[in-house]
Amino acid sequence: MQTKTPSRTKSQVFVPSSTKSLKENAVPLPQTGVLGKLLTDLEIDGRCVKALQEFRYQLRYRLYDIAEHLATRCRRVGLEAEGLIKPDPFGEEATPRASIRKLRRSAALQWLNATLEGRFDSEFSRLLRHRWIPIMLADYRDAHPAPFLIESFYNYAEGFLTSYVFDKPAESLIAEAWTLHAIRQALDLQRRIFGLEWDR
């Protein structure tokens, strides 16, 4: 069961018009920040939760590095995808000041740990909507990020985590397939919290 949070005044997010989009025939995304929906019931099965927890154990020594990468790239890839900033061909991207990088890294690590622990309850939903996603994606002038940044983040995070699932050849990939399914279930659930439906 999902219930909407009480309406609040949403801050307007100014986004310059994009000259080119990477998606063909895409419906224009709204440019205002969102709070999302409150998740009140568990919406992922136990086998997927177990697969996520086993994956987290496999990544235990690399979780910090993954969180560092997501915190560094998650906002920028969304802006690049919408054509709002241009990729640096020399790889010398401007980085935010140290305090912001540290805050985003901490939020990314907390989000990653909670996601891979299978903690999908109302408290997870509250932290996701009001702390982790805003810290990682919102501009300092706005309380909540625009939907296209959230969508881009989940697409990027899914692809990046998938690269850790299939990181070596094996005779059987059944366990890896279950892990990938669990990751998709977890991120699809979070997309729905923000009203971003994903068609598989």
Sign of CA dihedral 11, 195, 115, 72: negative
pLDDT for res 156: 92
C-alpha–C-alpha distance, residues 163 and 133, integer Å: 22
Picking from 164, 96, 165, the residue whose alpha carbon sits closest to that of residue 136 is: 96
pLDDT tens for the 200 residues of the chain, in order:
444 544 444 444 444 443 443 333 444 434 445 556 555 444 678 889 999 999 999 999 999 999 999 988 887 777 776 665 666 655 555 666 677 888 889 999 999 999 999 888 888 989 999 999 998 887 766 667 888 889 989 999 999 999 999 877 777 888 899 999 999 999 999 998 888 876 65
Residue owning tokens 């969508």: 151
* pLDDT value of residue 113: 96
Distance in angstroms (rounded) separating the CA atoms of residues 177 and 51: 10
Report the b/e string of 142-180 with b at 16+ CB within 10 A. bebbbbbbbbbbbbbbbeebeeebeeeeeeeeeebebbb
Distance CA 10, CA 106 (A): 25
The residue count for the chain: 200
Alpha-carbon separation of residue 9 from 49, 143, 178, 200 (angstroms): 35, 10, 41, 33
For the question of whether the overall pTM of this predicted structure is more than 0.85, the answer is: no
Q: State the sign of the Cα–Cα–Cα–Cα dihedral 61, 57, 36, 129.
A: negative
Name the token pair of 131. Answer: 């702390």
**Two tokens, residue 58:** 């496999």
Q: How far apart are CA 101 and CA 104, in angstroms?
A: 5
